[in-house]
Structure 1
Amino acid sequence: MTPSQHKKETAGKTLKRGVFLTLGALLVAVALEVFLVPNHIIDGGVVGVSIISSYLFPLPLSAFLLILNIPFLIFGYKQIGKTFTISTLYSVSVLALGVHFIHGSPTVTSDFLLAAVFGGIILGLGVGLILRYNGSLDGTEILAIILTRRLPFSVGEIIMFFNIFILGSAGFVFGWDKAMYSLIAYFIAFKTIDLVLEGLDESKAVTIISNNAQDIAEAIMARLGRGVTYLYGKGGFSGEEKEILYVCRHPP
């Protein structure tokens, strides 16, 4: 492949990633402003905190989405890597703009259950697309990726721990019935994310055997923000012990 062909391929992948990150962020904006927020149903993570904050303080939701994510993005840039952080910053910015322009549009339904179900589905589709193309909408995910290196918990377990408190706080602000509807929306979104990431992937994981396993693992965690599991094996002919990397893979 010539340098010009490589540049074109790289530009094509970047453009494709940008298109799907934009689509995902706009879907989340629709889910929030058309279904969830008007019915006082929240999501987890920074988005959930932003919804509660915009209800309690005289600043729009779009402002809180940017303000509350900035510290995580700065921290993530130093700890995780440039590509993942820039993709996250772009996704959050598009979400904030989408929320700003969609705000005040007519709600589709005032039925809390319908809002939770359809809002959760659209939210999950949007977040799933963003995660699939190596971005994020939530600073707590960046924090969880960093903490999982130091704590004996997975990224999902750490995020769930945060969200228990965030979704629980909705009960004090909006009422406990709204907190329960928020849990329904969160569960549906979670399952929809799984469908987007796993149901559409041709390959769900990759196994890497190399003499430079440590360097490869550090590059994957730093540049892609993906967790890596070490397995240990032995060569059948040589008898040499090998480090094997197992990486959950959601390629664009």
Structure 2
Amino acid sequence: MWKREVKSIILVALSAACMAFNINSFVNVVGLYPGGFNGIALLVQRAGSSFFQVGIAFSLISYPLNILALLLSYKSLGRRFLIYTCLSVGLCGLLTDIIPALPITDDVLLASVFGGIINGVCISLAMIVGGSTGGLDILANVYGHKLNKDPWNITLGVNCLILLAAGLLFGWDKALYSIIFQYASTQIIHLLYKKYQQATLFIISDQYQQIYQTIMEHTHHSATVLDGTGCFTNEEKKLIYSVVSGQQVKSLIREIRKVDGKAFINIVKTTELDGRFIYKD
């Protein structure tokens, strides 16, 4: 158990360090706005420098915003999520202030695409181990549970409002490039972090009762057993139908194979679900 926790802490720290590197080496170099609380912090930081000739540390803006989000959501946050998020936010803010900029490219489009990819990987890495990179990720975790919906498209919409403010203050070219950054980041999150995605399983097996129990124990989701007939053999078959979280599919299939190694399993990506669906923490 302790090895898992140590591994998770290392991954959260790595995520925070990569996020700080990304801010300094991609975002700041070409003047992008990453959205979320990091985007707000950079917006305030650049406004202070441009309009008031005041230098403000990134962490002095990021920390209060994230503390506010944690206070608003702490009743819905688990202890592990809270600790990992505080570690991520604290380390990212500190490293952003002290790591020197290492320009990778001065091409705005390249920085938008690859910076967005790195940003999405960092967010996904923290979320996969049970934490977050702070900001809107905190609210996404909390209200994703409450609404039973994928929160990332809503997050993208909120980020576009932040970029609107950036465009009004500093010009539209970097704001529009930042939308590319946000889109790339969101697509990577959808690819790597599957908690708020669903998959439909169609399983043909004679061991349907044991498979149903496996699904219940592993995912806390129920299933429906349908009667069918195999057209080739003309034998009666049982079809188990269930919808589970996308992140549970691989481990669930392994457990099902332990019950029936010959089971026929069809996995279908569920693009939309209307009904009560509970996500397992």
* Pair in the same fold by TM > 0.5: yes
Shift in alpha-carbon separation, 1:23–1:148, aligned structure 2, 3 A: closer
Structure 1, unpaired ranges of 5+: 1-9, 217-227, 238-243
Which of the numbers 27, 30, 35 marks the counterpart of 1:36?
27
Which of the numbers 88, 93, 96 marks the counterpart of 1:91?
88
d(CA) in 2 for partners of 1:167, 1:33: 18
d(CA) in 2 for partners of 1:247, 1:152: 11
Equivalent position of 1:182 in the other structure: 178
Residue 79 (1) aligns with residue 70 (2) = no
Equivalent position of 1:246 in the other structure: 244
d(CA) in 1 for partners of 2:154, 2:187: 18
Shift of 1:248: 4.1
Shift in alpha-carbon separation, 1:139–1:11, aligned structure 2, 3 A: same
Judge conservation of contact 1:44–1:163 (CA < 8 Å) in 2: yes
Residue 116 (1) aligns with residue 112 (2) = yes
Which stretches of structure 1, 4 residues or more, deviate above 6 A after TM superposition? 204-210
Shift in alpha-carbon separation, 1:151–1:234, aligned structure 2, 3 A: closer
Which protein has the larger Cα radius of gyration, Structure 1 or Structure 2? 2
d(CA) in 1 for partners of 2:45, 2:181: 19
Q: Could you say which structure has the greater relative contact order, defined with CA pairs below 8 angstroms and 6 or more residues apart?
A: 1
C-alpha distance after superposition, 1:4-40 (max 9, x if no partner): xxxxxx1100100011111111111111101112321
Judge conservation of contact 1:52–1:173 (CA < 8 Å) in 2: no
d(CA) in 2 for partners of 1:77, 1:32: 27
Judge conservation of contact 2:25–2:102 (CA < 8 Å) in 1: yes
C-alpha distance after superposition, 1:110-165 (max 9, x if no partner): 22112212222222222221122111113223223434455585422432332221
Counterparts of 1:88-167 in structure 2 under 5 Å?
A: 88-102=85-99, 104-148=100-144, 154-167=150-163
d(CA) in 2 for partners of 1:31, 1:95: 10
Shift in alpha-carbon separation, 1:127–1:142, aligned structure 2, 3 A: closer
Shift in alpha-carbon separation, 1:197–1:79, aligned structure 2, 3 A: closer
Which of the numbers 52, 56, 60 marks the counterpart of 2:57?
60
Shift in alpha-carbon separation, 1:152–1:79, aligned structure 2, 3 A: closer
Q: Give the letter aligned to residue 92 of structure 1.
A: V
Judge conservation of contact 1:35–1:119 (CA < 8 Å) in 2: yes
Q: With structure 2 as the length reference, what TM-score do the two structures score?
A: 0.65
Judge conservation of contact 1:50–1:65 (CA < 8 Å) in 2: yes
Supply the RMSD in Å over aligned alpha carbons: 3.5
Equivalent position of 1:23 in the other structure: 14
User: How many residue pairs were aligned?
Assistant: 218
Shift in alpha-carbon separation, 1:236–1:247, aligned structure 2, 3 A: same
Shift of 1:233: 5.1
Counterparts of 1:209-224 in structure 2 under 5 Å?
A: none
Judge conservation of contact 1:209–1:245 (CA < 8 Å) in 2: no
Residue identity over aligned pairs, in percent, reads 29
C-alpha distance after superposition, 1:49-97 (max 9, x if no partner): 1110111234211222212101112233222221111111111111112
Shift of 1:177: 0.6
Judge conservation of contact 1:27–1:125 (CA < 8 Å) in 2: no
Q: Give the letter aligned to residue 96 of structure 1.
A: G
d(CA) in 2 for partners of 1:152, 1:195: 19
Q: With structure 1 as the length reference, what TM-score do the two structures score?
A: 0.72
Structure 2, unpaired ranges of 5+: 49-54, 202-210, 228-241, 252-281
